[in-house]
Amino acid sequence: MTQPTIVDSHCHLDFPDFDAERPAVIQRALDAGVTRMVTICTRLRLEPQVRAIAEEFAPVFYAAGTHPMSAAEEPLVTVDELVALAEYPKFVGIGETGLDYHYTAESKDIQQQSLRVHIAAARETKLPLIIHARAADDDMARILAEEYANGAYSCVMHCFSSSAALATAALDLGFYLSMSGIAAFPKSQELRDIFAAAPIDRILVETDSPYLAPPPHRGKRNEPAFSTLTAKVGAEAFGMEYADFARQTTENFDRLFWKARA
């Protein structure tokens, strides 16, 4: 029987946590059935290094943007800069961008400005927007809807762990929700219920590694191979066989991240 295959739709392979053993980390992912990974650049000045990783390793694709927690420290990105990156074959998404009022509420104005720039680039390139949202549900739902009214774009709510209301707002716009290790934590039943209420054809799986390792690795460094552990919990939440859940979330990924299609 062949092993089900899945995709880690969001990881950070350029982080120093992986410097000592990046090839081994990618090989462990492949051995676990994780056939593709999207590594995310969070500061645009680091884009060349992140692109180099994607170009070195066949299973790795990449996206780039300015993380909301860095929005006040980095130059405001332009639509043209982001659109230019779309020329690279392995550049498959815009972001991560978004709003984070948990740690960086004082920069919320520049975060919102940056978010709208990234949305404009996603609209122009037809590449998916990758959203980080924390403690900013009302503003996030409002901006996503306002911008959608200006012209359609596609989007994933990465590492979704917000309210049912924001989940509904995103799903109503045709967006996707991505399940990270948080969804596998024992105390996350409420979050699993939010996912289980969503259409199965709008669910992705990710690690956000090196962060948020699912059990039994919680508190340790996360890596793309562990996305299978989150996916197994996701399959249970949807009442599906793991192989069926893996196949469906991979189809979802291919539909949204069309440039990274297998």
Amino acid in position 59: P
pLDDT-flagged residues of the chain (< 50): none
Predicted TM-score (pTM) above 0.85 = yes
Place of tokens 């045709």: 174
- Per CATH, domain 6-260 is 3.30.470.20: no
Q: What share of the chain is helix, strand, coil (3-state, %, to 5)?
A: 50, 15, 30
Q: Dihedral sign, CA of 246, 247, 250, 255?
A: negative
What is 179-204 written as a DSSP string? E-GGGGSTT-HHHHHHHHTS-GGGEE
Q: What is the pLDDT of residue 145?
A: 98
The count of other CB atoms within 10 Å of the CB of residue 191 is 22
Q: What is the pLDDT of residue 45?
A: 96
Q: What is the pLDDT of residue 149?
A: 98
Q: What is the pLDDT of residue 187?
A: 96
Q: What is the pLDDT of residue 227?
A: 98
Q: What is the pLDDT of residue 162?
A: 96
Q: Which of 221, 227, 234 is nearest to 7 (CA)?
A: 227
Q: What is the pLDDT of residue 146?
A: 98
